[in-house]
Amino acid sequence: MQSHFSAIVIDDGPGPDRAALKQLDNSELPHANVTVRVSYSTLNYKDALAITGRAPIARSFPMIPGIDLVGVVEESESPMYKSGDAVLLNGWGVGERHWGGLAQRARVDADWLVPLPTTFSPREAMAIGTAGYTAMLCVMALERHGVTPEAGEIVVTGAAGGVGSFAVAILARLGYKVAGVTGRLDEAQYITQLGASIVLDRAEFSAPGRPLQKERWAGAVDVVGSNTLANICAATKYRGVVTACGLAGGMDLPASVAPFILRGVTLVGIDSVMCPREERIAAWKRLSTDLDLSKLPHIAEEIGLSEVIATAPKLLDGKVRGRVVVDVNS
Mean pLDDT calculated for residue range 61-65: 97
CB burial of 217-237 (b: ≥16 within 10 Å; e: otherwise) equals bbbbbbbbbbbbbbbbbbbbb
Answer whether residue 248 shows pLDDT above 90: no
Cis status, amide bond into 117, omega within 30 of 0: no
For the segment(s) 4-116+294-327, the CATH number from 3.40.109.10, 3.90.180.10, 3.40.50.300, 1.10.10.60 is 3.90.180.10
CA atoms within a 13 Å half-sphere pointing along the CA-CB vector of 2: 10
Which residues belong to CATH 3.40.50.720 in the chain?
A: 130-269
CB burial of 121-148 (b: ≥16 within 10 Å; e: otherwise) equals bbbbbbbbbbbbbbbbbbbbbbeeeebe
Answer whether residue 1 shows pLDDT above 70: no
Which residues belong to CATH 3.90.180.10 in the chain?
A: 4-116+294-327
Cβ atoms within 10 Å, residue 35: 19
Do residues 272 and 296 make contact, with C-beta atoms less than 8 angstroms apart? no
On average, the pLDDT of the chain sits at 96
Percent of the chain at pLDDT > 90 equals 93
Q: Where are the beta strands (DSSP E) in 116-177?
A: 154-156
What architecture does CATH give domain 130-269?
Answer: 3-Layer(aba) Sandwich (3.40)
- The pLDDT score that the predictor gives to residue 2 is 75
Question: What is the bridge-based pairing of β-strands 198-201 and 34-42?
Answer: unpaired
Lowest mean pLDDT among 88-97, 165-174, 204-213, 317-326: 317-326
Answer whether residue 13 shows pLDDT above 90: no
